[in-house]
Amino acid sequence: DAGITQSPRHKVTETGTPVTLRCHQTENHRYMYWYRQDPGHGLRLIHYSYGVKDTDKGEVSDGYSVSRSKTEDFLLTLESATSSQTSVYFCAISGVAGASEQYFGPGTRLTVT
């Protein structure tokens, strides 16, 4: 998985609780991404980062926030989890911007009850 780890790999949480997912890379890539994967929707971009402390919204950013204080770490936070955020979350990295290869982590399965 191209030097990408995600933690936790599985999490069950209750509606209304905050949740933080972590993505860690050892490739020193500048660009990092958070996607969610749901049946019938493929993968959809939540947020991405183009450098330390530089982030932007993706297609489905409502209810999510991100932070990147170091090149190697990209955090995704659900401030108050809802059942609609039950999904599998993938982190991806890329060395260059735009139309170039993205490499994905192993994923985090999140269940909000």
Partner 1 sequence: GENVEQHPSTLSVQEGDSAVIKCTYSDSASNYFPWYKQELGKGPQLIIDIRSNVGEKKDQRIAVTLNKTAKHFSLHITETQPEDSAVYFCAASLDTGNQFYFGTGTSLTVIP
Write out the residues near partner 1 by the rule CB under 8 A.
Answer: 1, 4, 31, 33, 40-45, 48, 50, 56, 58-59, 90, 97-107
Residue 85 is classified by DSSP as: G
Residues 28 and 93 sit within 8 Å (Cβ to Cβ): no
- Nearest Cα neighbor of 111 from 22, 8, 12 is 12
Residues 26 and 70 sit within 8 Å (Cβ to Cβ): no
User: Residue 14 or residue 56: which is nearer to partner 1 going by CB?
Assistant: 56
User: Residue 13 or residue 61: which is nearer to partner 1 going by CB?
Assistant: 61
Give the nearest distance from C-beta 42 to partner 1 in angstroms: 4
Give the nearest distance from C-beta 69 to partner 1 in angstroms: 20
Interior angle at CA 73, CA 97 and CA 90, nearest 5: 70
Give the nearest distance from C-beta 80 to partner 1 in angstroms: 26
